[in-house]
Chain A
């Protein structure tokens, strides 16, 4: 599922092999019709772990949205230097525990003295936006190509499948780094932080689509032979109607689950790219960038490494818990 071998959550890789289970799941869908939503929602509500994950996710989203406000109340302007908080000889915060104090509730950045709390908040903005939007890009591409391959079959299928196999068997992180580093800094008249966000969304989204594509293709292949599709066909429904009216609604559940499960992977990939220096450009904060900076200070100022690390961990974990719960709720047999 991931761009990075080391940043991967492999659960989804089992997807191609558990086609059978998934097919059973969608069988239920077909029979249960609309009420599945209610069943799933009830199941999800009972799953405390998943709800905990969802709660944390919502909390993080709220933090990101309110970043400017929160930074004003409890923090300092995100790019403001505080040289007085820094020991001039060692470049590390003067205060203990990374300079955590009433004034700087998460401490200050080594060397510059910028407020880590504010930087974490603004980092959350970019991280979440990149992760969610790139998941959407993957989903849209994956669904389109998966549907096309599964429904049309023949040479279209073999080409798309080949491309997907090819992309999966590809040194992706390498390519992502290379692509991101050669793409220009400003695109579509946008520059700085947001242009890089666009690039990241595009690149991460692009490398993610084959995973969704394979699942959608598998599902479509099996659905295509079902009676209700046959029935539509015999009633004279056109391809478009069959694709969007009959197939797509039945694919909604697995697509939703896998989109949710790509998000944490994307967070890790986004952070990895920033860690390697090709993510969000300075002075804009990013969690991965902070971890990369921390590499030269971690013995003297471990807090600077721990805070963004824990943030990444908590965010990814929350999305994973929620995604797992969602999958269980929509498709209990998949587990």
Chain B
């Protein structure tokens, strides 16, 4: 168990290193190719040569890219100083540098966005797992019934609808026409749980609809397969109630593969619900990422990508560990 854990963690760290390297490569190599100067981006409108040079030394933009990368990693682990002459700025670990645009430190900037995206992803995830699994199980048990067909048609529609369409439809109907909800907005949970809920319910439902469709289809397929397995037949023949058979034996086998998919979905969702945040005017990581990309704000892009990759990698790790708990067949060695 322990050695497995260590191996997985080492793997995760390597993956993250590669992510940073690729990102760093793309975004710091591209300016050199296209001939735009990051120092110019940083200083903005007032580009006299002296201050440009100052900025360049301070950010270490004159160093070769591998050296810059090394400094970046050092900043991440131990913090770093930006120095030009006697003008020194210290940036604590984990240091992701300063935004070219706002000059804010990237780390706190991103940390303040996490609650938004996390709220969005968590709320939606709870909904889609509950709805998706329930629909899938019911459909499988009443195979061929009206409910089954309706649910599966709905699910197929769900996977074919992009959120940038359903989101607008939802806004139009529930906020504009019916006026049931206030505009979508993020209010911190601790500040006002009620407006946290009302401000996010529409994005949750819209997002959950997409994912629930997939989960319903998968659950149904797995359930049907499981119901044909020998051990279910054995369980039934033992005279166990249908509820016990389904709940105890069937569901477990159905949920196991779902965990992997859930991990992947949740990870990528945390990594930036770019489209959702764009449609619903929420400013979380996805919005931050999009803005940063549009403004060529390299340190922020790098930070978001890294954070996103961390989410995905960590959640995958958790999923793998969970697996050993849910599915006794999986042995970690």
Partners in one complex: yes
Binding site for B on A (CB under 8 A): 4-11, 13-14, 17, 165-166, 168-175, 177-179, 181-182, 184, 264, 268, 271-272, 275-277, 288, 291-292, 294-295, 298-299, 302, 305-306, 308-309, 312-313, 316-317, 320-321, 324, 335
Q: Which stretch of B76-84, B154-162, B189-197 is in the interface? A: B154-162
CA distance A166 to B290 in the complex (A): 22
Q: Are A174 and B304 in contact (CB under 8 A)?
A: yes
* Chain B residues with CB under 8 A of A294: 168
A173 and B260 contact, Cβ closer than 8 Å, known pairs A181-B293, A299-B172, A317-B156? no
The interface residues of chain B lying within 8 Å CB-to-CB of A184 are: 34
Q: Does B227 interact with chain A (Cβ within 8 Å)?
A: no
Interface centre among A14, A169, A312, A321 (most CB of B within 10 A): A169
Across chains A and B, the number of contacting residue pairs, with CB separation under 8 Å, is 156
| A10→B214 contact, CB < 8 A | yes
Of the candidates B165, B273, B290, the one whose C-beta lies within 8 Å of that of A305 is: B165
| Min CB gap B201→A, angstroms | 17
Q: B residues engaging A (CB < 8 A)?
A: 15, 18-19, 26-27, 30, 34, 156-157, 159-165, 168-169, 171-172, 176, 207, 210-211, 214-215, 217-218, 221, 257, 260-261, 264-265, 267-269, 271-276, 278-279, 289-290, 293-294, 301, 304-305, 308-309, 312-313, 316
Interface of B is mostly: helix
Contact present for A179 and B312 (CB under 8 Å): no
Q: Are B165 and A309 in contact (CB under 8 A)?
A: yes
Q: Complex Cα distance A316/B160, Å?
A: 5
CA distance A170 to B156 in the complex (A): 26
User: Would B159 and A6 count as touching, CB distance under 8 A?
Assistant: no
13 A-B residue pairings within 8 Å (CB atoms) = A6-B276, A168-B264, A175-B305, A181-B293, A182-B30, A182-B34, A272-B162, A275-B275, A298-B176, A305-B165, A305-B168, A316-B160, A320-B159
- Cross-chain contact A6 with B207 (CB below 8 angstroms): yes
Starting from the known contacts A14-B257, A291-B168, 5 additional A-B residue pairs (CB-CB under 8 Å) come to: A166-B15, A171-B271, A308-B165, A309-B168, A321-B156
What's the nearest-Cβ distance from chain A to residue B260, in Å? 7
* Contact A317 B157, beta carbon cutoff 8 Å: yes
B272 & A171 in contact (Cβ 8 Å cutoff): yes
Contact A298 B171 (CB under 8 A): yes
CB distance from A264 to the nearest CB of B (A): 7
Q: Is the beta-carbon distance between A299 and B176 smaller than 8 angstroms?
A: yes
Q: Which residues on B sit within 8 Å (CB–CB) of A177?
A: 274, 289-290, 293
Interfacial chain A residues near B293, Cβ < 8 Å = 174, 177-178, 181
